[in-house]
């Protein structure tokens, strides 16, 4: 039985690592297939990739620019309400005050004070 401490670690040249990383970076090629072909563990290739970076050539991604601005959807129409001509106010003491819609707010507030006192 061989002790793990007696085994020597294999060392690979930078050129070999670069070659393996280049093969693994090719489109449609799996890292595990490249590892088997070279008698390596796939994790070793992933470690090399992390340590040395990917060997892929930089490429360009086509960008599509849209000239038309995004238009918001049309607002749903709110049904028109019948114009209000009168307003009814019910006081806590039960008295009701009915006024026209155009009634002055200051006068209405005075009227409410009087209605509550009575």
- Token pair, residue 93, equals 């003491």
Rounded Cα–Cα distance for residues 85 and 70 (Å):
42
Rounded Cα–Cα distance for residues 77 and 41 (Å):
66
Rounded Cα–Cα distance for residues 99 and 91 (Å):
14
The pLDDT, as a whole number, for residue 83 is 62
Per-residue pLDDT reduced to its tens digit, 19-74: 999 998 888 889 999 999 999 999 999 999 888 876 555 566 566 666 666 666 66
Task: Find the mean pLDDT for residues 1-5.
Answer: 64
> Pseudo-torsion of CA 50, 51, 54, 58, nearest 10°?
110
Q: Which has more pLDDT, 37 or 8?
A: 37
The pLDDT, as a whole number, for residue 59 is 60
List, in sequence order, every residue forming a beta bridge with 90; answer none if it has no partner: 96
Which residues are within 8 A (CB) of 28 and not within 5 positions of it... i.e. 6 or more apart? none
Q: What is the crossing angle of helices 31-38 and 42-52, to 10°?
A: 110
Reported pTM: 0.43
The pLDDT, as a whole number, for residue 51 is 87
Q: Which has more pLDDT, 94 or 75?
A: 94
């Amino acid at each position: 039985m061989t002790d793990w401490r007696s085994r020597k670690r294999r060392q690979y040249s930078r050129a070999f690592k670069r070659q393996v990383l280049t093969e693994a970076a090719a489109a449609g090629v799996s890292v595990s297939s490249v590892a088997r072909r070279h008698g390596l563990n796939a994790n070793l290739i992933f470690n090399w990739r992390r340590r040395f970076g990917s060997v892929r050539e930089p490429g360009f991604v086509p960008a599509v620019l849209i000239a038309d601005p995004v238009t918001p959807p049309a607002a749903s129409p709110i049904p028109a309400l019948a114009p209000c001509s009168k307003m009814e106010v019910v006081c806590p003491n039960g008295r009701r005050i009915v006024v026209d819609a155009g009634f002055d707010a200051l006068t209405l507030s005075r009227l409410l004070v009087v209605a509550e006192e009575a």
